[in-house]
Amino acid sequence: MSILEHIEKNQWGYTTEGIPVTLFTLRNENGITVQVTNYGATLVSLYLPDKKGEMEDIILGFDTVSDYEKPTPQNPFFGATIGRHANRIKNGQFSLEGKNYTLAQNNNSNHLHGGLKGFQKQIFQATAFTTVEGPSVRFKRLSHDGEEGYPGNLRVSVTYTLTNDNELKISYTATTDKTTIINLTNHSYFNLAGEGRGNIFDHQLELFANHYTPVEETLIPTGEIKSVKNTPFDFTVPKILGEVLKDLKDSPLEGIDHNFVLNKENSKISLAVRLVEPTSGRVMKIYTTEPGIQVYTGNFVDTYGKEGKHYGKYSGIALETQHFPNSPNQKNFPSTILRPSEVYSSTTIYKFSIVN
């Protein structure tokens, strides 16, 4: 073990191919602890105090590398960095500069979360370091031209920073040598009562989004940007998730799996989400530079996680800051195109606090 001021670095195990995997543990001055791994640049654990000062891990996940290697639905992208393009692309096809590209159809007829392997099952190069804000780990990898069908050699960097202001900051950058598409996000599932401690029904969710993108039966957006008013998706005032999910239990999705259009006109960082769990008193606010956020209430989660705990339906909520699904095929959506002369940059901040 090596220690670099609030950072621990440990060998965590090996992939089925025999590649060593590293686990990094970050601690801030207030005792908050984050664990991340170079396998998929994945957020593994996040320990927060409750209003009594008791620490609990609020991230769904696994104890071993081999569990993270499992295919969906045994591992529904717990904590992973998703790329090259988060969410769905219709029929796994898009056109760019007059050329047609075909990607894996790994979600019904559509392409989901970067393909068969995506970024979530790749090994990243990792560097741990300290900043004035707090301890950090930077993960880098080169996604080669043609990987999963995407054009261009894409150099990607994902940096986790645990600040002494009780924030977890994830910063993404990327460059390409050929025009491509990119849409990166983190796919953590949160349960502010603690992972494995039941469902999220008592969580109160507020979204700073007056609109959402309706979807057809395979969850591809219709292209419409619709007001949330008079729909189950109106979280412009805080709502108790259990009450909303009760109303949606007979819907095809049995819950929420929708993209919300955030109230913003530019890429400046702004408040997107406020999530409260009243029993523990834990509060999470999410700030992002992204134009949208995919909210998934774990409608079909059914697996065994840390310490063999069963994660069933609604065990956690995924809040994926991102560009909209199927953006390459929707001209009225914010573009996910990246050109060789440009630098992709995106930041999401999770800020934690306590209410009594």
Catalytic residues: 187, 320
The secondary structure element, H or E, covering residue 248 is helix 241-248
Q: Is 88 annotated as a binding residue?
A: yes
Cα atoms in the Cβ-side hemisphere of radius 13 Å centred on 197? 15
Q: Is 68 annotated as a binding residue?
A: no
Strands 282-288 and 270-277, by their bridges, are: antiparallel
Q: Where are the alpha helices (DSSP H) in 11-169?
A: 65-69
Per DSSP, the residues of 176-190 read ESS-EE-B-EE--EE
Q: Is 188 annotated as a binding residue?
A: yes
Residue 167's contacts (CB-CB under 8 Å, 6 or more residues apart) are 161, 349, 350, 351, 352
Task: Tell me the three state secondary structure of residue 241.
Answer: helix
**Cis bond before residue 73 (omega within 30° of 0):** yes
Q: Is 187 annotated as a binding residue?
A: yes
Strands 93-96 and 88-89, by their bridges, are: unpaired
Dist. CA 330–CA 223, nearest whole Å: 6
Task: Tell me the three state secondary structure of residue 62.
Answer: coil
Annotated binding site for beta-D-galactose: 87-88, 187-189, 257
Annotated binding site: 87-88, 187-189, 257
